[in-house]
Amino acid sequence: MSDFEVVILMAVLAIPAIGLIWLVRRMRAPFRKRRDELAVARYRERLAAPDFAAMEAHFGVELPAELKAFYRQPLLEKSATLRLESGEWDIDSFEAIDGESPREAWPGCESYVAIANDGCGNRYLFDPKQPGRGVFFHDHEIGEFPVVDSLRGFLMAIEASEGWRE
């Protein structure tokens, strides 16, 4: 078989395969879009209706009153950039507080409450059993970094950030 015949044979086999892959992806797209829409709707529901009792039952302690007060305000589509002594910290969105939250924790972070994230899979966490420890940033690739010494300080920094009330 000549080189030209090999190229023709490869084209004859590749073109239908590419077409089949395109067709399958095209057929699955509406289902993927629907699944994504359902996930967004579920996130919005969870964020709008925090279940403090489920989290308290999971951790065996009462969550701080300032956290409960913070989560009673509308948090959907809110973001913040915190400028603190420890650096500049970006918050892309807030985490839901409910019974599902502990199951979504990164390995090694199951004993912490996730408050917010940076949009890249990294979360702002605090230990509900040791509220004096403060809030830290958990980068899932590098590790933990202290953000601020108290949960109250973290929440106050969010509310004081530029554009928070807009």
R_g of the chain computed on alpha carbons: 23
- Tens of pLDDT, residues 94-152: 999 998 888 888 888 889 999 999 988 899 999 999 867 799 999 988 888 888 898 99
Structure tokens at 58: 């999971």
Report pLDDT for 117: 92
pLDDT band of 50, cuts 50, 70, 90? very high
Residue 71's nearest CA partner among 89, 53, 87 is 53
Report pLDDT for 14: 78
Residues composing the chain = 166
C-alpha to C-alpha distance for 137 and 110, rounded to whole angstroms: 14
Beta bridge partners of residue 80, listed in sequence order: 91
Report pLDDT for 103: 86
Lowest mean pLDDT among 17-21, 42-46, 57-61, 156-160: 17-21
Tokens 């996130």 belong to which residue? Answer: 43
| Angle (CA) 126 128 129, round 5° | 125
